[in-house]
Amino acid sequence: MFSRASQVRIPIGEPECPAAVSDHASAYLQTIPLLERLHRRLMDVIKDEFERLGRQDLTPVQAMILYNLGSDEVSAGELRSRGMYQGSNVSYNLKKLVGMGYVHHERCELDRRSVRIRLTAEGLEIRNLLRELFVRHAEDLSRQGILDEFPLPVINRQFRRIESFWADRIRYIY
């Protein structure tokens, strides 16, 4: 038998806040958990697609690293700044990706401490698989009327502004 206290329901997406907040603050407070859930859903979608294709050698995070790397040649630090990866996870995952043949790496000629990375043909194949998946999703979203109002450019601009705001807060903590 459950006690009455264990049956308390906290609505998802409506964070508790002791003081009254503005409409902007309320919307922002709803955005935070939504972004987190969207990221987890994206990882689930990628995992499901790879299982469907019989490609279980990569984790969704590793696949997104390949996707975000694209056709560029960058350092691990540059890749970390582009994506949503913790520093140690990038190094670990890059080591795995190099070992599996998806990423090529070499020391920089000018600074031997720096390692430059780029996708191999196999890495580009994975990146293209993800790109095709995302394009299919965009077309399905449009067909289903989910993108009828097409606010994504506005939303993306707002997310870039939030990202910049957060980056500024991290930089000026110290």
Residue ranges of the domains in the chain? 46-169
Q: What is the mean pLDDT of the chain?
A: 83
Q: What are phi and psi of 144, to 5 degrees?
A: -85, 0
Q: What is the pLDDT of residue 137?
A: 95
pLDDT over threshold 70, residue 12: no
Alpha-carbon distance of 87 to 89, in angstroms, equals 5
Pairing of strands 115-119, 103-107: antiparallel
User: How would residue 126 be classed by pLDDT, with cut points 50, 70 and 90?
Assistant: very high
CB 68 within 8 A of CB 46: no
The topology under which CATH files domain 46-169 is Arc Repressor Mutant, subunit A (1.10.10)
Q: What is the pLDDT of residue 166?
A: 86
Mind giving me the DSSP string for 98-137?
A: HHTTSEEEEE-SS-TT-EEEEE-HHHHHHHHHHHHHHHHH
pLDDT over threshold 90, residue 11: no
- The secondary structure of the chain in percent helix, strand, coil, rounded to multiples of 5, reads 60, 5, 30
Task: Provide, rounded to the nearest whole percent, the portion of the chain with pLDDT above 90.
Answer: 47
Average confidence (pLDDT) over 123-152: 91
Predicted confidence (pLDDT) per residue in 18-76, tens digit: 567 789 899 999 999 999 999 999 999 999 999 999 998 999 999 999 998 888 888 87
Nearest Cα to 160, choosing from 149, 171, 168?
168
What's the pTM value of the predicted model, to 2 decimals? 0.78
pLDDT over threshold 90, residue 104: yes
- Rounded to whole angstroms, what are the CA distances from 148 to 27, 36, 141, 145, 151? 22, 24, 9, 5, 8
